[in-house]
Amino acid sequence: MVAMLSLLAAAIALVIGVYGAALALSAVRRPLMAPLAVLPFESGMLPQQHALSRYHARWYAVTVLFLAFDMEMIFMYPWAVVVADMGASAVIEMFGFLAVLLVGVVYVWREGALRWT
């Protein structure tokens, strides 16, 4: 119990110390800066829209498509190495996994994310 409390106290002290060091060493002082200096940097141009503006809804579907293919590649490479040792059960499990990913691709297709017009 004492070790856990001392670990918690050390963690809290570390967080406070890091925040204190960041405040002490920070070169940015908000009240002293000019209004133009606090604008976001965009190659010298003024921003055209707010930094927290929303993306169009079709980009969420594109993200789902990207994640489907990304997860496929992450799990296909190690699977290809061990499939000969594991046998038919590995093939069946991979086809189940690909079926789940296919559901995401079909969803994106139905949403129209693959049309760029």
Q: What is the pLDDT of residues 64-80, one digit of tens each?
A: 888 888 888 888 888 88
pTM over 0.75: no
Residue 49: which CATH number? 1.20.58
pLDDT of residue 41: 64
pLDDT of residue 61: 77
The domain in which residue 102 lies consists of 2-111
Burial of 113 (0-12, 13-18, 19+ CB in 10 A): buried
Whether 57 maps to a domain, the answer reads yes
pLDDT of residue 10: 96
Whether 117 maps to a domain, the answer reads no
Domain count, the chain: 1
pLDDT < 50 positions in the chain: none
